[in-house]
Structure 1
Amino acid sequence: MQGVLKKGAKAAGTIAILKNPFSWIIAGIPLLLTSLFGFALFISISLGGENQLESGMSGEGAGGTAQVSSEVMRYEPLIRKYAEQNGVGEYVGLILAMIQQESGGRELDVMQSSESIGLPPGAITDPEYSIQVGVKHFAEVMKQAKGDVNLALQSYNFGDGFIGYALERGGYSKEVATQFSHRMAAREGWSRYGDVNYVDHVMQYYNDGNGSVVVMGDGSQSFDVEEVHNIMKQYLGRPYVWGGRTPAAGGFD
């Protein structure tokens, strides 16, 4: 909200035929598992992270899907209720992602919305009221931002005064957000003003349908299984090479 810091090598070879007609299957299982695990890890890292995959709670809306913690997901019915009341029902998933960033669902003022009604930070002690106020404020800035999600999100953090400032400078951008933050901090005599990375921080928990990486509420990453399957199919027939790092090297691990 406004003015607050938001929070490893062997060469390739042939596989010997074993006397037991079924033993090749048994012997091959560890190799297969190792290969698949290595490939899955490669895909995970290439998509941006080395974290173990963990389960997460999924909250959906017409605008996209959020992967959030159970603490946040428990508020989904209330979010949907007030989102529909305020004409932003398609943004339920995005609002869930906002709450994951704002409080992780572990504070009473779950949307950190008290300042939007002139109260001190954290003054709201009723989670439902926090959601009611926060969703209404989000709907208002979304309307003022003319549906520009990034601009609306940053304005939720900075306050709606950012909207006019940004529109006069070509709309939302990280540079414009940084300029506004510095300006407001100087005016208020503060070292910092708001979170210039608020949009990125919220969107790390949200998939708008145009991307494949989804970050769970605990910070671990998941990915689109169908996309991984399609990538794997491209390498069918390539030989297995212990420690091989790239398909172009004649084979890979």
Structure 2
Amino acid sequence: MSTVNPATNTQTNAASQQQTAASTQPQMGEEFDNFLKLLTAQLRNQDPLSPLDSTQFVEQLATFSALEQQVRGNESLESMATMIGDIHAMFASEWIGQTVTVESSWVPYSGEPVDFKVSPPDGVDSAILNIKDSAGETIWTKALDLSDETHSWDGETLSGIDVERDQIFEFGIDLYSGTNFVGTAAPQVKTTVTNVGNENGTMRVGTSSNLSASVDKVQKVGDE
């Protein structure tokens, strides 16, 4: 599981990019103007009997053109960065506080019940939940009623001693069609979005259950 940057960081980054653009623009503009003044002065003050070599003149014009393109390119990049920051902020405002499901085999236990959903494929008529600790030992198993919309686990164990909080457990849901084993599925944990951030170009959400996922792996409850 990875940590995402808070939505407030997204908004702060957008503001920071705007400030950077504001401070950078005059520097590029000043450099651009100085180059133009220097070239104009050189043309005005050249010796009529020994004018500027045409090759040098072409080279300086090429330098001028390259600088102009760089300035315009920087302006475009700064505008794009500002737009992306604004989009991130808008996106975060639409997700934070939403109840969602995050599919994950590894589930943190904070001491609060872990609520989850199961979406079995067609033909599956029974399911058994198996929970293992970090050592791979099965600590809980239970047949699930697939007619229930939501299932829950509150730290129960086969030994009758509830597990301690702030641990991570492996959830596996064995699916059956009659007596035939179909496969093992991960639960879709119900949780609340607490922050949204950008990680290596991918938008991710962080949740109250300490699970994080890319937005394409998250589903708002009610949108299923």
- TM tier, smaller: under 0.3
TM norm structure 2: 0.27
Give the strand-richer structure, 1 or 2.
2
TM norm structure 1: 0.25
